[in-house]
Chains A and B, each alone.
Chain A
């Protein structure tokens, strides 16, 4: 039962986090592991969509998410965050991209900043699982077709019907209103006899009916 570290505040990740890290075997130990991950994070920020082995992608994903969330949280005037960006992005022009492109893109996001998909692996080839890691809002065509706009989906059918009915009601009420207005207009024109050679039977009858009690 260890105490939580309270010296640092971090935003909650919107991805599932493994309880432990993967070691990503390499001869240089933990530092070499971080170098591997730095390369991956740099490539992700640079290309916005990369295909790689699943384990490395899953490890790098958390780091990329936290880098972006820290950049959003502290901005580019924060020294520690700048050092962090300098460490994690091996190509230094990408530091500008992080603060000027990715931060505005993800500022108001309520979902994770990255997406990960399972990719097919080569056969015959390395046995390791593969995956595609991408930043959301990238300029490439989507990997998964977006079916939410398909008009045969039940909720879209229902929405369409509701919309139709709404418009129908609205137009009907509009037409009724217009009719009433024109009726009023004709009535007023009849009252001034100089202008009106009117032969509308309904209005004449109504006029007579009006005049009768006067006489």
Chain B
């Protein structure tokens, strides 16, 4: 028996050593497929690790997102602009603020007495992106409504202070131009009201009172939340025409929204690129603030 086995195994080994095995399957063998899958998972596991960007960054730094208009997109220009913005942020503290926050901006002014001018006001609008990002401050000074447009990355800006960090109910507050002056009057010597660390930005649900028509815009058509007395001044014909221009289908127009936004994947990429830098700047700012509070106690005479 043993002989037979030996001979057989020898012959078998010879056969397989020299003869070709012909198979025509092009599918991967089951073993190979099983072996391939866990290997891939092992490889992707550690490489997936990326800096975790907080979800609120797109609200705090909206100007880092490019204009979503497809014809105007240019990856290289956007990247260079982001680098320039970071460069500027290393030079000057540009704090987090929203429409409705009260800011004080100190800027170089060749005609002012000390070559600088400081303007305090409420931010009524933020627009544009990249290095062109700008905002409008409004205040009433000597019974005269004053608005100043500041570019956020303008090199003549010397200091931006947030005196009161809060949001309002609407995305832009142009209706303050038609409101009673007390709603856009802010003290020039106002002191900063610091928020607690980590506290959410409060939403001021104040409703402003408009003065009678004529107005600068047809506010009744804009579905404003922060206005108290629109109904008081409009007639039936205004109500009807306002109803006519409403576009209730727009909230379902997905492609319109898509063309107005930067998709999440792209946002993640952009903020992953600038996150570490912005984060270190934030930490630095916090440290500086703490120092300043210890060093300079306020004396009010």
Contact = CB atoms under 8 A, between A and B. Distances in A.
Interface string B38-49: 000000000000
A8 interface: yes
A90 B173 CA distance: 38
B199 interface: no
Contacts of B63: 3
A1 to B, nearest CB: 5
A172 B17 contact: yes
Nearest to A31: B249
Nearest to B262: A4
Given A2-B128, A4-B129, A182-B6, A10 B21 contact: no
A9 B261 contact: yes
Contacts of A178: 9, 12-13
Interface in A30-84: 30-31, 34, 59, 62-63, 66-67, 70, 83-84
Nearest to A21: B255
Contact of A30 (B9, B129, B249): B249
Contacts of B133: 3
Interface in B26-40: 26-27, 29
A84 B252 contact: yes
- Give the one of B130, B255, B259, B261 with max A CB within 10 A: B255
Interface in A171-208: 171-172, 174-176, 178-179, 182-183, 185-186, 189, 198-200
A154 to B, nearest CB: 12
A183 B254 contact: no
Contacts of A8: 257, 261
A34 B252 contact: yes
A167 interface: yes
Nearest to A177: B13
Contacts of B212: none
B3 A4 contact: no
A21 B21 contact: no
A10 B9 contact: no
A182 B255 contact: no
Contact of A9 (B6, B15, B264): B264
B258 A4 contact: no
Contacts of A176: 13
A171 B16 contact: yes
Given A168-B21, A178-B12, 18 more contacts: A3-B62, A3-B67, A3-B129, A4-B65, A5-B68, A5-B260, A6-B59, A11-B263, A13-B263, A19-B70, A19-B71, A21-B255, A66-B254, A151-B24, A156-B26, A171-B21, A182-B5, A200-B3
7 closest Cβ pairs, A-B complex: A175-B13, A12-B263, A19-B70, A66-B254, A4-B65, A171-B16, A6-B58
Interface of B: 2-3, 5-6, 9-10, 12-13, 15-17, 20-27, 29, 58-59, 62-63, 65-72, 126-130, 132-133, 247, 249, 252-267
